[in-house]
Structure 1
C-alpha cells in the first residue's frame, strides 16, 4: 500500500480543526509529547466534503497518539480505531446549536441519504438509536408471542433481551467450521418459531456463511417466520462471493436487514442504526421504538455516509491490519476463521482470561471469552502499526500453549 504523505500546515490550523478545541481555547498542557508531536503536522482534511488521503494520514497519526496516551490500546469491542470521519465531526460542530433541542431535524435528510446509499425507497428505512434498540424492537414485534431461533454463539443482544422477556430461544451450535449450521437450524424451525436471527458476518467468529446456502435458508425461513439479518460488519467484507440480503427486502420477502453507524462510520457513542424492511414491517416496528436517534448521530451519520473516501480508507487500513494478524496467527500454527470483519477469532490453546491478562500487561485490551469457545480469542483490528505490535506480542503470550483444540471441540 502506498503511504499517505500529507502536506504540512501549522499546528494552530490543525488544533482549530480538531475536536481538542473547545470554546476557542486550546488545552495543550496535558498533552503527552507523542500527542503534541502528532499535532504538529496535518494535511487538508476535506476536499469537496470528502476526506483526502493526506487528511486521513494526519488523522491516523493523531488517532494513534491519542490512543497511546489514553492507556491500553482498545481492541476488545470491534470499534473503528479511527473514529468518525473529519466530515462527520465538522457536521456535528456546525450543528452545535441543536444540542439543546428535542428531536433531530436531520433525520429526514439522513433517511433520504441512507435509502439512496442502499438502493431502496425511503419508506423502506427506519432509523433507530443504535442496534440494541433495533434488536429489542424486533423482539417485541415478532418474538413475544412465539419462539426465536438463532445460531450460537452469535451477537448476544437479541437472544439476551428475548430471554429477559421470557421468550424461548433455540440456540443452534455452529458447524465445525464455525459457520451457521443451516441444516440443523432448518430442522429446528418449527411452527412455534416466529423470529429467526442471522448475523452475517457473524460476531464473534468474524466469518461469513457460504452465500448461496445462507440466502437459500433465509428465503425459505422467511416463508415460515420473520428473519432478521444483522449486517453490522457488511462494510468490512472483501469476499467477492458475499452479497447482502437487502435484495430480498426489495423483493418483498419477510426479511429485515439491520446495519449500523457504529462500525465503519465510527459513531458507536452516538447510537445510530438502520432498519431496511418492507413498509408494512416498518409500520409495525416504529410504534415500539423506546428511544429516538440523537441530533448529533443524525448529523454525523449523514456526513459520513456521503464521505465514501473516508469509508474506503478505513476499509483499506482494516484489511491491512487484518492481514497482519492473519499472518501472525498462521506463523503460530493456530487455527482461525476467515475473518471478513474488523476483528479476528482464533484458537489460543489456553483460557481466554489468561490471554487477556497477559495482553493487558503488554498494553492491549482484547475480547472476552465466548462459550463454548473458551480457548479462542477475539481481537479487534486497530491501526496497522498497532496490529504489528500485537503480532509481535502474541508469540510471548501463546507461543508455547498447546495446539490441541481442547474442550472447545472446534
Structure 2
C-alpha cells in the first residue's frame, strides 16, 4: 500500500483551488448581514449597552418590526407571539455564533442551564433545557401518563399536554372552567382521585388569559402533589403585572412533587428557535431526561442567555404589551362585550357570533386572529401587537362585532 504523503499544497491553496475560500467567504459575508443586520438607532446610538437594550435600540426595533409586519401581509395576531421578536442583544448573540461550531454537547446549552437556574433561583440540577416548552409538556406526558395513565386538567386550557397524553392512550379528565373562566379548583379537587397520575394547570391560563388566585392555587397544588405529580405551565409568567401574582417555583425548592414549565418563546421572542425549561426536583428531572426526544439548538440557547440577562428589553416589552392590552380592553368595553381580565399578551372576549365569522371578517381588514376554543365558540382570542397595531385593531372591530 502506498503510504500517505502530505500534499505540497497548503490547506489555503487547496481551498482556493477548490473555490471554497472564495465562495464560502462570499456566502458568509452576504448571508449573515442579510439574515440578521446589526440594529442601530437612526442617530447612531448603540442598540445594546452592557448587554441591556437601550431605549433608542428598542424604538429602532419597533420601527423595523412594524414595517416588516406590514410588508408580510395580514397582521399575525393569532399565536401569542411577542411582536418585537428577539432582543437586539439576542440578535447580536446569534451573530456571534458564526464564530463558533454547533457540535453535539456544545457549551451553549449548559451555559443556558446555569444562567437560567440563577435567573429563577434554583440549583442547576433542578433545570432541564428543552426544545421549547411544548417539549416539556410532551416529555412530562411520556414520563407520567403513557400506557393508560390518567391526567386531570381544567378545560379549555393549553391543549399541548392533554392532546399528547390522549394520543398515547391516557385518560384525560377535563374539568370546565368556573364562571370567571378561571380554573375551578374546587371541582378539580373533587375529581382528583388516587388513580390520577398527573395534574396539569396553566397559570395564567391560555386561551382565557385569566389568573387563578395565588393562595388558592398554592393550596391546591400543594395538596394535589401529595397524590400526583403536578405540572404548572407558566408560559405567560413574564407578562403578568398584577402585584398579587406569584410563581409556584418555591414549591419546587421546598421539595414538592411539582414541575414548572417556562418558555423563551413568549416575552423573549424566540418561538422559532425552540427553547424551553422544566424546573423540578433533581429526581424528577432524572425521570424526565430519558423521555427527551430532541435537543435545543445552540442558536436558541445563545439567544436565550442574552435575552434572559437583558432585563431592560423584557421591561420594555412588558410595558408595551400592557399598553396594547389596555387599548384592546377599552375598545371591547366600549362595544359592550364581555371579556376576561387578561394577564397575558392576548385578550379573550365574547363577540356574540361564531368566531369563524369574526376571523374571516378580520382577515379582510388585514388581521389574523385566533381560532375558536370550544365550548367558547363565540369568544375571540386576539394576540397583542404593538400599541399602534392594536389601535388599528380597535378601530376595525366595531365594524364587525356589534354590542
CA apart distance, 1:203: 0.2
Verify: 1:180 aligned to 2:183, yes or no: yes
**C-alpha offsets along residues 141-197 of structure 1, whole Å, 9 cap, x if unaligned?**
111252000000000000000010010000001001100011110010011101000
Indicate the residue corresponding to 1:75 in structure 2. Answer: 77
SS of the equivalent of 2:197 reads strand
**C-alpha offsets along residues 24-81 of structure 1, whole Å, 9 cap, x if unaligned?**
449999xxxxxxxx99666420111110001100110000000000111100000000
CA apart distance, 1:214: 1.0
Indicate the residue corresponding to 1:382 in structure 2. Answer: 385
Indicate the residue corresponding to 2:255 in structure 1. Answer: 252
Indicate the residue corresponding to 2:214 in structure 1. Answer: 211
2:350 and 2:134 map into 1 onto residues whose CA distance is: 28
After TM superposition, the structure 1 = structure 2 runs for residues 209-358 of structure 1, keeping only pairs within 5 Å, are 209-358=212-361
Residues 71 and 230 (structure 1), Cα distance of their counterparts in 2 relative to 1, 3 Å cut: same
Q: Is the 8 A contact 1:258 1:273 kept in 2?
A: yes
5+ residue gaps, structure 2, are 1-25, 35-39
Aligned residues: 372
Verify: 1:55 aligned to 2:57, yes or no: yes
2:46 and 2:385 map into 1 onto residues whose CA distance is: 23
The structure 1 residue matched to 2:155, chosen from 152, 156, 180, is 152
| Root-mean-square deviation (Å) | 1.9
Indicate the residue corresponding to 2:142 in structure 1. Answer: 140
CA apart distance, 1:103: 3.7
Q: Is the 8 A contact 1:99 1:296 kept in 2?
A: no
Q: Is the 8 A contact 1:98 1:295 kept in 2?
A: no
Residues 131 and 222 (structure 1), Cα distance of their counterparts in 2 relative to 1, 3 Å cut: same
SS of the equivalent of 1:325 reads helix
Verify: 1:125 aligned to 2:130, yes or no: no
Verify: 1:162 aligned to 2:162, yes or no: no
Indicate the residue corresponding to 1:84 in structure 2. Answer: 86
Q: Is the 8 A contact 1:39 1:62 kept in 2?
A: no
**C-alpha offsets along residues 247-304 of structure 1, whole Å, 9 cap, x if unaligned?**
0000000000010000000000000001110011001101110001001011000000
Q: Is the 8 A contact 2:350 2:379 kept in 1?
A: yes
5+ residue gaps, structure 1, are 1-20, 30-37, 404-410
Structure 1 length as normaliser, TM-score?
0.88
Residues 196 and 115 (structure 1), Cα distance of their counterparts in 2 relative to 1, 3 Å cut: same
